[in-house]
Structure 1
Amino acid sequence: MNPSIKIIKTDQAAPAGGHYVQATLFQGTMYISGQLPVTAKGQHTFNEPFEIQARQALKNLLAILEAAGGKPSDLLKVTVYLVGVVHWPAFNLIYAEMLGEAKPARSVVPVPELHHDYLIEIDAVAAV
């Protein structure tokens, strides 16, 4: 691995569940892996309502960002994968609440399904 690439890892977010890391940092740009609504202790929340899943996925993303010294205003681009566009309005409210004044570029991608039947996954790029 390139020695200039730093691996970001925190126990405040869901652990990486496969052949990947929570995030990487290279030359001030942080790439946060897709975050499913899994708790920091590895507990699945796929049976929970959408709102709980959305908050958990965002909580994971923000915890990883914070582990690198970042804050929501450092987010450059967020990509959200939603199962069912019906969840879009609820997500917008939770997203605005949790990110506060930060308004990074964003894409919301409706998808037919996600791993473990989750309803949301979020990844991001940030300047840290």
Structure 2
Amino acid sequence: MSKNTITTEKAPGAIGPYSQAVEAGGFIFTSGQLGIDPATGEFGATVEEQTRLSLENVKAILEAAGAGLNQVVKTTVFLKDMNDFVRVNEVYSSFFEQPYPARSAVEVARLPKDALVEIETIVVKG
């Protein structure tokens, strides 16, 4: 099985020893994307802005791989505070259409760079 790394300057670069995404076995696996503006390197000020930026970054990575959000089959949403769940859902729902991807949402003790949200995806290619 071969695997290909996917990178784009339209999303923030990796801050550690990992790829923005990897394509293997007909799937694309994106690394968790923080709510950072790739042009400025700045976080969104609110959880809504960070969610939007996170999903824009996912979208840019998928486009670099020749895919789109409509091919996402699974997402994982990591939240600093589960009390933000409803606010994150409001933004999240503007990026996906039915049938929605499967999803897990979990509260974590801490995210990289003290982010409020991080989102990763699994995509079926083709």
Q: Tell whether the structures are fold-level matches, with TM greater than 0.5.
A: yes
Q: Does 2:101 align with 1:123?
A: no
Cα RMSD of the aligned pairs, angstroms, is 1.5
Task: Provide Cα deviations, 1:26-79, integer angstroms capped at 9, x if missing partner.
Answer: 121111001111222361316x11111111111111111111111112111100
Query: Which contiguous aligned blocks of 4+ residues in structure 1 show a shift greater than 3 angstroms?
Result: none
Q: Does 2:6 align with 1:8?
A: yes
- Corresponding residue to 1:109 among 91, 106, 109: 106
C-alpha distance in 1 between matches for 2:13 and 2:25:
24
Alignment correspondent of 1:40: 38
- In structure 2, runs of 5+ residues without a counterpart are none
How many residues are paired up?
Answer: 125
Aligned-partner SS, 2:53? helix
Alignment correspondent of 2:57: 60
Q: Does 2:81 align with 1:99?
A: no
C-alpha distance in 2 between matches for 1:102 and 1:44:
32
Identity of aligned residues (%): 34
Q: Residue 100 of structure 1: CA displacement?
A: 3.1
Aligned-partner SS, 1:90? helix
- In structure 1, runs of 5+ residues without a counterpart are none
TM-score under structure 1 length normalisation: 0.90
Task: Provide Cα deviations, 1:64-114, integer angstroms capped at 9, x if missing partner.
Answer: 111111111211110000011111001111111012335111000011221
Report if the CA contact (8 A) 1:15-1:42 is conserved.
no
C-alpha distance in 2 between matches for 1:104 and 1:60:
17
Aligned-partner SS, 1:52? helix
TM-score under structure 2 length normalisation: 0.91
